A and B are shown apart, each in its own frame.
Chain A
């Protein structure tokens, strides 16, 4: 069964350092999403890509977060500098098309970030 690949699974970083996460969606999935899940909360959308274009980044803290999907395939999410409040699970998901709800997104296993 096809999977969304994410790396690393776990990351511990000191505050003010830079950190990056990588996601490889299911082959052929045009839409890619980055979500952040804080413990005890539901996932919240950070950024949505359609192919290589950003569709929605209204909830992305752009002073420290950046995301790219240069060739419309895999994607990188970066935080610089990291803050203590960034500790969370970062989830990547992909779907066949923009109305991903029809098929349900497929999520990766996530990256658990701890900022110390």
Chain B
């Protein structure tokens, strides 16, 4: 049973517009959430994270929102750029082990 779900396998957005990537989780013990970006044939690159005690975290063009009651988080990219085209993974962590549980990813395509 998937604990972290990214229900949209792909998303296409026009350059300059907003990209919104969504993620749902089932485990209420998760207390830290991260977004990773991955290009083909490369390892994932850390983008932004959020602790469960917050509901928003911003870093430049990237903002992550957390709705704990709905067990939902989203990544907003504004404005979207063609270089943002990649697969985005949502990941969650909880407890003392620290290992991450990943979603299946969403492939973002930003068209010029």
User: What are the residues of chain A within 8 A of B41 when measuring CB–CB?
Assistant: 9, 109-110, 112
Within 8 A of B (CB), among A79-116: 91, 93, 95, 97-102, 104-110, 112
Are A4 and B43 in contact, CB atoms less than 8 angstroms apart?
Answer: yes
Stretch in contact with the other chain, from B13-21, B66-74, B92-100: B92-100
Size range of the interface on A? Answer: 20 to 34
B65 within 8 A of A: no
* Separation of A91 and B102 alpha carbons in the complex (Å): 13
A43 within 8 A of B: yes
User: What are the residues of chain B within 8 A of A107 when measuring CB–CB?
Assistant: 36, 43-45
Query: Interface of chain A, helix or strand or loop or mixed?
Result: mixed
A48 within 8 A of B: yes
User: What are the residues of chain B within 8 A of A45 when measuring CB–CB?
Assistant: 99-101
Within 8 A of B (CB), among A5-20: 6, 9
Are B97 and A55 in contact, CB atoms less than 8 angstroms apart?
Answer: yes
Give the residue name and chain of the A residue nearest to B35 (CB). A104
Are B49 and A101 in contact, CB atoms less than 8 angstroms apart?
Answer: yes
The smallest C-beta distance from B82 to any residue of chain A, in angstroms, reads 22
User: What are the residues of chain B within 8 A of A104 when measuring CB–CB?
Assistant: 34, 46, 49
- B99 touches which one: A41, A48, A97, A112 (CB < 8 A)? A48
Within 8 A of B (CB), among A48-100: 48, 55-56, 91, 93, 95, 97-100
User: What are the residues of chain A within 8 A of B102 when measuring CB–CB?
Assistant: 42-44
The 4 closest A-B CB pairs, nearest first, are A42-B102, A107-B43, A104-B46, A101-B93
